[in-house]
Amino acid sequence: MAAQKISGPYAALGAHYAVHLPAPDDFAFWRDRARGLIQCDVPPDRVSWIEPGGTGDLFAAEGPSRSDKRMPSPPADARPVRASQHFLTLARRAALHTDPARFGLLYQVLWRLQQGPRLMEDKADSQVRRIEELAKAVRRDAHKMHAFVRFREVAEEDGTPHFVAWFEPDHHIVRAEAAFFMRRFANMRWSILTPRGSVHWDGETMHEGPPARAEDAPGDDPVEDLWRSYYASIFNPARLKVGAMLSEMPKKYWKNLPEAQIIPQLIAGAQAREAAMVAAGERQERARPVTLAEVAQGAAACRDCAIADCGTRAVVGEGPHAALLMIVGEQPGDQEDVAARPFVGPAGQLLDEYLHAAGIDRASAYVTNAVKHFKFTWKGKHRLHQSPSAKEIDTCRWWLDAERAFVRPRIVLALGASAARGMLGRTVSVNQVRGRPIMLDDGAELWVTVHPSYLLRLDGVARVEQAALFAADLAAVRERLGAD
């Protein structure tokens, strides 16, 4: 279509114009010159756009020396140049691209827009698509700059902190994106150094500086160690997806990212870490025991938790195999471990007394513990009882469940919070749940009360009070038993 046009009166016929841009990202200058050239009807093939240090396009070889000083001036009545808002937005971005042909391309599209104002809607047009590609690349570069600039702190002579970053953008975006960092770090003194120029903000004004080298930026910042620690810890080794990371954080950015140094070792260690996580959580799969004898054998051989490795023996329950009542304690104590029978020590004797008083025959109940091994620490020559952890109780639940499945009691009496956890799988407060039955999955009733050793540790009024409550709990259980 350019061929059909006749050059305007103020542009020399057949003349070639070369426009020297003062800076590679000077969109305003391009816009001004392009407007004038279009008003003078200078077709795109007669203009070359030359950035500083560039040679322009092929046709410019003959042009630069004799042009530019005599740019055509548009006639006073020249038609205004029009472009859609969409073009302006895209062009502003595309002008920052490093492609040397970008200004020529923009001029061509602007030229065509004067004839076809809706050109930008035609996404299938190759020039429109090229502008969109350029703008997209610049937008991505800017976005990555917002994300990947890493400041390092240095102290100025007057003691104020100065934050300096070294960044290598693909395109001429530094000047345009400085505003983003100004809005974000308005009250901070910072500089961003790049091979395409640098910007400095002192808290009030922005200064532009010449291109910089990597050595100009500070080499280290102690906070980077903390940041790397954070980066390594927030990463979940169970979900390794290196491809997803690389598509968003390509390797070309890695050299200026402090956290990227440790990526290879994180990836290399991930499988081992996940395997360790799974192994730590894994229990040995074993068949559920079907007789109480198998429970005894299995519990004796079980090494699922650390308690079992203390040289003690497993103490499993005793009593009739179809008892109505199952009594669950916490764990065997010193004497129980020696005798390999539950509740034979001081607490057991106290329990016997209270059971007798309540009218419950211990011999008719199945008596066992939530944890099968004795957990203790040495204190001199004595083995001092230690409470099992929730984890240990949960692990040992396997054996308690097996016993319960075999005995099938109608009523379970849990003595103390550990026993209650062994039955319920969660920690309850004894004082809140005592005195009333809790329904278990299989329809059995769970009654929770304190452990008799608790009474042994009390004296005075407190002991009398607690003893009465304990007796009352046992009496309630006795009543439920009687009801059957």
Partner 1 sequence: MQQTLRQRLEILADAAKYDASCASSGTAKKNSLGGKGIGSTEGMGICHAYAPDGRCISLLKILLTNYCIFDCHYCINRKSSNVARARFTPQEVVDLTLNFYRRNYIEGLFLSSGIVKSANHTMEQMIEVARILREEHDFRGYIHLKTIPEADPEAIHQAGLYADRISINVELPTRAGLTRLAPDKDEAQIEGAMGRTKARIIEAKDERKRFRHAPRFAPAGQSTQMIVGADDANDTAIIGKASRLYGAFGLRRVYYSAFSPIPDASAVLPLKRPPLLREHRLYQSDWLMRFYGFAPGEVADATEADGNLPLDIDPKLAWALKFRESFPVDVNRAAKEQLLRVPGLGTTAVARILAARRHRTLRLDDVARLTASIVKVRPFICALDWRPTLLTDRADLRRLLAPKQEQLELF
Q: What are φ and ψ of residue 366, in 5° steps?
A: -95, 120
> What are the strands of the beta sheet with 161-166, ordered from one edge?
151-155, 161-166, 190-194, 197-201, 206-209
Under the criterion CB under 8 A, does residue 354 sit at the interface with partner 1? Answer: no
For partner 1, the binding residue among 1, 223, 290, 301 (CB under 8 A) is: 223
Number of residues that bind partner 1 (CB under 8 A): 73
Burial 383-420 (b: 16+ CB within 10 A, else e): bebeebeeebbbbbbbbbebbbebbebbbbbbbbbbbb
Shorter beta-carbon distance to partner 1: residue 20 or 150: 150
Question: Which range in 34-42, 51-59, 328-336, 383-391 contacts partner 1 by CB under 8 A?
Answer: 383-391
Shorter beta-carbon distance to partner 1: residue 281 or 311: 281
Shorter beta-carbon distance to partner 1: residue 203 or 359: 203
Paired residues of 152 in beta bridges: 164
Burial class (CB in 10 A: 0-12, 13-18, 19+), 237: middle
Q: Look up residue 374 and give its two tokens.
A: 């004795």
Residues 87-116 that bind partner 1 (CB under 8 A): none
Question: Which range in 8-16, 314-322, 387-395, 443-451 contacts partner 1 by CB under 8 A?
Answer: 387-395
Question: Which range in 37-45, 122-130, 314-322, 451-459 contacts partner 1 by CB under 8 A?
Answer: 122-130
For partner 1, the binding residue among 153, 170, 294, 445 (CB under 8 A) is: 153
Spatial distance between the Cα atoms of 285 and 297, rounded to a whole number of angstroms = 16
Spatial distance between the Cα atoms of 382 and 371, rounded to a whole number of angstroms = 20
CB 31 → partner 1: shortest distance, Å? 25
Spatial distance between the Cα atoms of 397 and 404, rounded to a whole number of angstroms = 10
Q: What are φ and ψ of residue 49, in 5° steps?
A: -110, 125
Under the criterion CB under 8 A, does residue 432 sit at the interface with partner 1? Answer: no
Report the chain's terminal Cα–Cα distance, integer Å: 104
Under the criterion CB under 8 A, does residue 226 sit at the interface with partner 1? Answer: yes
* Residues 476 and 438: beta-carbon distance below 8 Å: no
Shorter beta-carbon distance to partner 1: residue 241 or 379: 241
Shorter beta-carbon distance to partner 1: residue 183 or 379: 183
Strands 47-50 and 17-20 turn out to be parallel
CB 390 → partner 1: shortest distance, Å? 3
Residues 162-221 that bind partner 1 (CB under 8 A): 163, 165, 180, 182-188, 221
Residues 245-274 that bind partner 1 (CB under 8 A): 245, 248-249, 257, 259, 263, 266-267, 270, 274
Q: Look up residue 159 and give its two tokens.
A: 């003691």
Q: Residue 161 in 3-state DSSP?
A: strand
Strands 161-166 and 151-155 turn out to be antiparallel
CB 269 → partner 1: shortest distance, Å? 10
Under the criterion CB under 8 A, does residue 282 sit at the interface with partner 1? Answer: yes
Which whole-number Å values give the CA distances from 482 to 138, 328, 368, in the listed order?
A: 84, 20, 22
CB 446 → partner 1: shortest distance, Å? 15
For partner 1, the binding residue among 206, 278, 293, 301 (CB under 8 A) is: 278
| Binding string, residues 388-427; x marks residues near partner 1 by CB under 8 A | -xxx--xx-xx--------------------------xxx
CB 428 → partner 1: shortest distance, Å? 9
Question: Which range in 70-78, 238-246, 454-462, 467-475 contacts partner 1 by CB under 8 A?
Answer: 238-246
Spatial distance between the Cα atoms of 377 and 400, rounded to a whole number of angstroms = 24
For partner 1, the binding residue among 110, 134, 138, 149 (CB under 8 A) is: 149
Q: Which residues contact 167 (CB under 8 A, 6 or more apart)?
A: 145, 148, 149, 192, 193, 194, 256
Shorter beta-carbon distance to partner 1: residue 230 or 364: 230
Burial class (CB in 10 A: 0-12, 13-18, 19+), 188: middle
CB 426 → partner 1: shortest distance, Å? 4
CB 88 → partner 1: shortest distance, Å? 19
CB 243 → partner 1: shortest distance, Å? 7
Tally of residues, the chain: 484
Spatial distance between the Cα atoms of 157 and 142, rounded to a whole number of angstroms = 32
Shorter beta-carbon distance to partner 1: residue 278 or 357: 278
